Amino acid sequence: MRTKIIGHRGAAGLALENTIASIEAAKQAGVAGMEIDLRLTKDMQVVVFHDANLARLSDDVRPLNELDFAELRQIKLHGGHQIPTFSEAIEAADGTLLVAEIKDDGMAQRVADILDRYPHANVEISSFKYHELNTLKHIRPKTKIYPCANTNPVEGFFIAKALGSTGVTLNFWVLNPMTYFLSRRSKLTIMAYTVNNRLLGRFLTFLYPNIELCTNHPERFIASKGEKQ
């Protein structure tokens, strides 16, 4: 099977997103990799969380960047989960690919420092913040990076080329034959997000057979093919 299945926010359809439980669920489903999100706390700790504030996933409504890590650890997410650190996510992945998206400015050096502590970790970095990817690439030239695009896929392709990226992360709605052709010719990987419908996934992989599908429900796609990645 040419299509790789990447769990979105771990496996957000199987366990609370961006938690250790979600990472474990994705691994159990047999994914090729897992996408997670990275943010900075007030005291500059890199943690795994998507939103700028805690309101959607907890009873606390404060912005994450107004809290020190010690304060953040006292907050329980829905279901009793904690917000993990990037380091904890790397350890939980245990060699399975992590595609970690930088969400805040000023993260590149912090992310690089953590990656330096895990030289054998299987981690790639994505972001809509291209300056962060550029900074990270200068700090750690061998780090695989993926610029994100959700409105202009051709622009995303050219940015990926300019940054020396491994690939590009695209909203599946903007994926098109031209971008696919250009990316394949340039040996850039395309990760399409977020695809949760099995029929849609089959249609996309019929049109674009070498893409990676990022999904909340990896079990739907892996099980439907009768094999694991």
**Domain of 182, in residue numbers:** 4-225
Give the span between the Cα atoms of 196 and 79, in whole angstroms.
23
Give per-residue pLDDT as tens, 198-223: 999 999 999 999 999 999 999 999 96
Mean pLDDT over 27-55 rounds to: 98
Strand pairing class (33-40; 46-48): antiparallel
pTM of the complete model beyond 0.85:
yes
Instruction: Say what the pLDDT of residue 98 is.
Output: 98
Give per-residue pLDDT as tens, 95-146: 999 999 999 999 999 999 999 999 999 999 999 999 999 999 999 999 999 9
Q: Domain holding 182: CATH number?
A: 3.20.20.190
Q: Name the one residue in this structure whose structure tokens are 């993260």.
A: 107
Work out how many domains the chain is built from and give that number. Answer: 1
Number of helices (H), then strands (E), in the chain: 9, 9
